[in-house]
Amino acid sequence: MDIEVVVTDDTQDESVRRVAEKYAGTGKLLYIHNDILKGAPGNWNEAMRNASGKYLVLMHQDDWFYTHESLELLVQSIVENAADLAFAQSYGINPEMVIISKNNPDRTKIRAMGKDIRSLYYANWIGAPSAVLFKNTGLTFDTRLKWLVDVDFYIRYLQAGRLCYNDCAIVGIGISASQITNSCVGNPGVEIGENILVYKKLKSSWKHLYLDFQHFYRLFCRFQPRVRDLREYSPPLLVQLACFVAESAVPTKSALRKLFRRLKSPKRKQLD
């Protein structure tokens, strides 16, 4: 395989540059230091914009190919299945090099994503970007996001694309206290704000109403915000209703009846 390595550096010292220079003569390597810090998604986008290959893998600094064959297997999968995106099984590995989790979706979940990629909004069955090979189409990550940034990208990318999965290709995902994930989990400003932002970008239909409602109902039961607390996000009516139900403990079936009545009503008043 003809492999190009693009390293984009968002650090403020020379540590990454020194490592890159050691490998500069071993193959096709491009090193780019960001004079202005771009943040995680912005740094990823910079690497993607400077990549010239047909396929991309966005390998994060604390992740790695678990076997020597992983990348080759992903390329074989995307070619043989005429797919646009291929993803590998991934192992979550702690600093002691112990496997503490695995992302290995079953056929039912893979079929569900193939039928409606929007289902990924409820659970990220693809996993981290490091475990994903995709065609270089120019699509970039939304820099407003950090918690759902990968989910948002996969959904937008696969709205008109085809995916495949190879459980023999394995990628190691480093799990540590320094991960961005740790600053997001349990943070209501991040989890609620990003769920609403991504939801407003999705194409919705009647078949999604119940799952969407349940998704936000569970989210609001965790954080217990009031409807007025959501105003800064300009939430759609369904999101407001899910918050109202979680706040007032109205039975779900009754809430759904209210939802359908309000959606059919010509006058849609905001909930307070």
Give the span between the Cα atoms of 213 and 156, in whole angstroms.
21
Span 39-84, pLDDT tens digits: 999 999 999 999 999 999 999 999 999 999 999 999 999 999 999 9
Span 129-165, pLDDT tens digits: 999 999 999 999 999 999 999 999 999 999 989 999 9
Q: Which two tokens stand for residue 120?
A: 């990924």
* 121 and 206 co-located in one domain: no
Q: Which of 132, 152, 181 is the last residue of a domain?
A: 181
* 176 and 190 co-located in one domain: no
Average pLDDT of the segment spanning 4-26: 88
Give domain status of residue 40, yes or no: no
Pick the more confident residue, 48 or 20: 48
Tell me whether residue 111 is exposed, middle or buried, using C-beta atoms within 10 angstroms of its C-beta: 0 to 12, 13 to 18, 19 or more: exposed
Average pLDDT of the segment spanning 255-259: 62
Give the span between the Cα atoms of 151 and 153, in whole angstroms.
5
* 94 and 162 co-located in one domain: yes
Q: Which two tokens stand for residue 116?
A: 């409606």
* 170 and 257 co-located in one domain: no
Span 225-240, pLDDT tens digits: 999 999 999 999 999 9
Predicted confidence (pLDDT) at residue 27 exceeds the cutoff of 80: no
> Pick from 173, 180, 185, 93: which is nearest to 126 by CA?
173
* 127 and 224 co-located in one domain: no
* 176 and 194 co-located in one domain: no
Give the span between the Cα atoms of 163 and 82, in whole angstroms.
9
Kindly give the pairing relationship between strand 55-57 and strand 99-103.
Answer: unpaired
Domains in the chain, number: 2
Span 169-217, pLDDT tens digits: 999 999 988 778 878 888 999 999 999 999 999 988 888 999 999 999 9
* 72 and 118 co-located in one domain: yes
Helix (H) or strand (E) holding 4: strand 4-9
Backbone phi, psi, residue 144, to 5°: -80, -10
pTM above 0.95, yes or no: no
Give domain status of residue 35, yes or no: no
Q: Secondary structure of 226-245 in the HEC alphabet? A: CHHHHHHHCCCHHHHHHHHH
Give the span between the Cα atoms of 30 and 215, in whole angstroms.
42
pLDDT for residue 269? 47
* 138 and 87 co-located in one domain: yes
**In this structure, what CATH number is given to the domain that contains residue 119?**
3.90.550.10
- Estimate the crossing angle of helix 188-201 against helix 209-223, to 10 degrees: 170
* 149 and 206 co-located in one domain: no
Any idea which of 20-29, 80-89, 103-112, 206-215 has the lowest mean pLDDT?
20-29
* 142 and 173 co-located in one domain: yes
Domain containing 154: what range?
Answer: 55-181
Amino acid at 87: F
* 177 and 217 co-located in one domain: no
pLDDT band at 270 (very low <50, low <70, confident <90, very high): very low
